[in-house]
Structure 1
Amino acid sequence: MIKKLLHIILILTNILLVVAIVLSYLSSYISPEKFWFLPFFGLGFPYFALGNLFFLIYWIIRKRKFYFLSLIVLISGSVYLNDFVQINLSSDTKPQSAKIMSYNVRLFDLYSWSDKMESKNSIFKLLKKEAPNIICFQEFYNDISDEFITLDSILTISDTKFYHDEYTFDMHDTYYFGIATVSTYPIVNKGKIRFENTNNICIFTDIKINDDTIRVYNNHLQSIHFKKEDYSIIDSIEQIGKKDVAQVKNIFNKIKDASAIRAEQVEAISNHIKMSPYPVFVCGDFNDTPISYTYKKMSEGLIDAFAESGNGIGSTHNSKIPFLRIDFILHSPQISTSGFEIIECNYSDHFPISCHFEIEKKNK
């Protein structure tokens, strides 16, 4: 009797995991403005995939036909697995290629969240070592006093003479919060896409590289605005008690609201990208994973640099949550990339990502 009950529980659990992973696939195609619950299934995709892999192996060992359930959904979604894990045997950088980086610097640790007073200087040292030609910063901070110098230091340290900065909030006309793109190559045009009722923003920068021009989109899409106590709950999710239920509900509501807002933002950006007269890079902190409406819409017609030349697990968020890839470098087919890298360092709550690139020459 117990054995039969356990067998039924296993089958039902397998079915639930199959339904869950199918819903995660759908979350890429259906806007969260229509079905608010789908983004949660997208976030759970890596775990649903592991669960189905477990049952696939389990039923094969037990020689039961139920393994077809998990086999079908895993094969159907195999393309999504490449968004989280990559094995590229030939990812060497080309000697004449340029380098682009995207980095959410969390205001250079202005408020000492990490209790590391040297975080800002450590970021500067990293930039000097990596020497990217183009850097897209999110959660950028700059002031015009001598208290916390950032922009001038970056331009000097990284040999980037050209910059495009936009600020969505300032204090006393001295302390500025926003986003910035810096470049060793000349900037020939600048623009921005603003969103209502938020400090998140997208900027686009036209950059002249020899005889070619590219447009670089630097994005910081709608933040979830987690607080310190929210991260504490997430980091200890397995130890949640009754008193934490309200906090968990609050976290769910934040994710739900932010997902719907990002859907609006990505529609505006995607339409703008399609009108670009130049090949594009689309970089930044999307605050969403590859299994999401945001990523699907933003990446239309573009190539993911991680998929093209990355290696290993694509986690870009510096937290205890595995498989959380929310920072991206996407590009037009006219651009080829190599040597994609996630640089694991503890100077921000995001890891910087970078790759080398070349603009393919047109046949004359």
Structure 2
Amino acid sequence: MGLRRVLWALAWGSAAFLVAAFLVGYAAPHLPPVHFWWTDLFAVLLPVLGGAVGLLGGVLVGQGVYRQAWGPGTVGAALLLLVAVRFGPGFVGDAPGSDAETLRVMTFNLPPAFAHGSAREWTLAELVQREVPTMLALQEAWIQPGASPRGSPEFASWPLRVLTRDSIGYTLPRLRPSEARIYRPVVGTVRLDSMSVHPLPPSGDTNPRARYTRTYFTWEGHPAVLYNVHLHTVGPRPWELLDTEPSLRRWQAVLWTYRDEALHRADQARRIRRHIERETRPVLVAGDFNSTPHQWAYRHLAQGLQAAGGGGTFPAWWPLVQIDHVLAGPAWRIDSAPVPGNEAGAVVSDHRPLVARVRWRDGYEE
């Protein structure tokens, strides 16, 4: 009898801990990060927690109905409602319309750690030719000033050199700033008028990597702007420390590093959000947010914008979370947003790309 009570207490204790972790992660995007930065850790796991809580809610509802006990049934129904509100059907895909009216926006993080080579260059070219994005927002790629807007840039990272070959046909914006090195470039088959570079805290004034770009372009006779962003990294992941010697001090250092970087990410989201609010042109935002839809930085940046879903984009070989996003202002309508699979044996990135198909909303006029 005593053992049964212990097991029963452990079961209910585990269930209570699961629900508490779920609720913390659920609330994370609504809590100020200066005090609640740690809730982001639970928000990353929210899809997994949501699945477990949904199962628990179903068990409680079933138990309540079977035993005619309103308490467990009500709790279970409340948990199922929370899961349905956050993870229920949202954006579902293709809308009717001519494909010629569709602007395909691809975002793709191509880190330099994945060195170029014939296999990876071929894979990138094949992927782009298959998905035929109209505009391609790249993170981690770069270009030097003075490179020709047509043809293969002389001073650029390998992805840009591949994409701007005559056989693929992407071009850079016609007007670009004279930066020492421009990260977050955008290429396209549509007319790209100009690109500007904007610093982000804490080091954007001195570090060209800590900046985002705004690309002005024209689509079907209407001017628009695309923000290409890469928010502050999450730093060392816990699993990266598994092969190191266990140390409480090391884990504490990782936690405080995560706190600092979460706050940097929040500051960057605020800065970009203020700029978006001042835009007079229809806005698209694409990039690596290093933030899932359940975290504060994403939610703050996405206010008033439509999210192109798609699914997990990181890590590429087992995409558990979506940290790469495309957002669209109210002038746009999102048709679909698939996440193309990576070709086996020649992976070009630890991210998967996201391709959003958007078009002007019916009746849109400047």
TM bracket (short chain): 0.7 to 0.9
C-alpha contact (below 8 Å) 1:24/1:44 kept by paired residues: yes
| Alpha-carbon offset, residue 304 of structure 1 | 0.7
Report the 3-state secondary structure (helix = DSSP H, G, I; strand = E; otherwise coil) of the residue aligned with 2:262.
helix
Segments of structure 1 that go 5 or more residues without pairing to the other structure are 171-175
Give the distance between the partners of 1:189 and 1:147, measured in 2 at CA. 18
Corresponding residue to 1:205 among 215, 220, 235 = 215
Corresponding residue to 1:285 among 284, 288, 311 = 288
Match in the other structure for 1:338: 335
For 1:175-324, list aligned pairs within 5 A: 178-195=183-200, 196-197=202-203, 199-226=209-236, 231-233=239-241, 243=246, 248-306=251-309, 310=310, 314-319=311-316, 323-324=320-321
Give the distance between the partners of 2:334 and 2:275, measured in 1 at CA. 23
* Pair 355,322 (structure 1): closer, same or farther in 2 beyond 3 Å: closer
C-alpha contact (below 8 Å) 1:223/1:287 kept by paired residues: yes
What's the RMSD between the two structures over aligned residues? Answer: 3.1
Match in the other structure for 1:95: 99
C-alpha contact (below 8 Å) 1:165/1:179 kept by paired residues: no
> Identity percentage over the alignment?
17
**Structure 1 runs (4+) greater than 6 angstroms displaced:** 164-168
Q: Establish whether residue 73 from structure 1 lines up as the match of residue 79 from structure 2.
A: yes
- Rg larger in structure: 2
C-alpha contact (below 8 Å) 1:102/1:137 kept by paired residues: yes
Give the distance between the partners of 1:32 and 1:167, measured in 2 at CA. 35
C-alpha contact (below 8 Å) 1:162/1:186 kept by paired residues: no
Give the distance between the partners of 1:178 and 1:89, measured in 2 at CA. 31
C-alpha contact (below 8 Å) 1:166/1:178 kept by paired residues: no
Corresponding residue to 1:154 among 152, 160, 163 = 163
Match in the other structure for 2:133: 132
Give the distance between the partners of 2:221 and 2:157, measured in 1 at CA. 37
Report the 3-state secondary structure (helix = DSSP H, G, I; strand = E; otherwise coil) of the residue aligned with 2:267.
helix
Match in the other structure for 1:38: 39
Give the distance between the partners of 1:148 and 1:293, measured in 2 at CA. 32
For 1:106-121, list aligned pairs within 5 A: 106-107=111-112, 109-110=114-115, 118-121=119-122
Match in the other structure for 1:173: none
C-alpha contact (below 8 Å) 2:312/2:322 kept by paired residues: yes
| Alpha-carbon offset, residue 178 of structure 1 | 2.0
Describe the superposition over 1:298-328 as per-residue Cα deviations: whole angstroms up to 9, x where unpaired.
110110121xxx4xxx111125665311000
C-alpha contact (below 8 Å) 2:339/2:353 kept by paired residues: yes
Give the distance between the partners of 2:338 and 2:306, measured in 1 at CA. 16
Q: Which of structures 1 and 2 has the larger relative contact order (alpha carbons within 8 angstroms, sep 6+)?
A: 1
Q: Establish whether residue 21 from structure 1 lines up as the match of residue 22 from structure 2.
A: yes
| Alpha-carbon offset, residue 218 of structure 1 | 0.4
Letter of the aligned partner of 1:159 in structure 2?
G
| Alpha-carbon offset, residue 55 of structure 1 | 1.6
Report the 3-state secondary structure (helix = DSSP H, G, I; strand = E; otherwise coil) of the residue aligned with 1:216.
strand
Letter of the aligned partner of 2:52 in structure 1?
G
Aligned length: 339
Describe the superposition over 1:169-207 as per-residue Cα deviations: whole angstroms up to 9, x where unpaired.
x7xxxxx57221112222234323212326332211111
* Pair 92,317 (structure 1): closer, same or farther in 2 beyond 3 Å: farther
C-alpha contact (below 8 Å) 1:108/1:141 kept by paired residues: no
Letter of the aligned partner of 2:325 in structure 1?
F
Give the distance between the partners of 1:166 and 1:56, measured in 2 at CA. 55
Match in the other structure for 2:149: none
Letter of the aligned partner of 1:133 in structure 2?
T
C-alpha contact (below 8 Å) 2:232/2:265 kept by paired residues: yes
C-alpha contact (below 8 Å) 1:204/1:217 kept by paired residues: yes
Segments of structure 2 that go 5 or more residues without pairing to the other structure are 145-152
Report the 3-state secondary structure (helix = DSSP H, G, I; strand = E; otherwise coil) of the residue aligned with 1:193.
strand
Match in the other structure for 1:328: 325
Give the distance between the partners of 1:243 and 1:177, measured in 2 at CA. 40
Give the distance between the partners of 2:359 and 2:316, measured in 1 at CA. 32
